[in-house]
Amino acid sequence: MKRLATLLAAAMLASIAGCQVKPDSGLLNSAELQHLFSNKTVESYNLINGSTSFTYYAEDGHVIQHRYWEKRVGRWSIADDKICLSMSGKKESCRTMQYEGGKYYKYRESSQGEQEKIIRYRQFLVGNQL
């Protein structure tokens, strides 16, 4: 409960400080992705299954995630204007991100070859808040 209160307080401070790096809509480039994720604890909402996770993206490329009340570890990187993630020895996946309507979204390619939203990022907190 104390952890949740800390995260909520940090979210309010982050909204005051303004974590937005892109003033308008569009795809994020590598520099914007690096600024948005490096040394940040990020709350993400999965639009497919409704789950929420909290993930810390360390500057050295390590990642720690709390999802479904479990801790996972892995690696992250930025390549060709995409954020890449590999959790617990699984195959790396690289996805594009867009800023739309004041929100950040991660996309994947559907089986029909179209881009579909899969993750909505709710907040970006400075440092490891896990």
CA 37 from centroid of its chain's CA atoms: 7
Domain parsing of the chain, residue ranges: 2-126
Measured between alpha carbons, how far is 116 from 110 in angstroms, rounded to an integer? 6
Phi-psi region of 93 (alpha: psi -120 to 50; beta: other; left: phi over 0): beta
Residues 45-79 pLDDT 10s: 999 999 999 999 999 999 999 988 899 999 999 99
Domain 2-126 CATH assignment equals 2.70.160.11 = no
- Rounded to two decimals, the pTM is 0.79
Summarize the chain as % helix, strand, coil (round to 5): 20, 50, 35
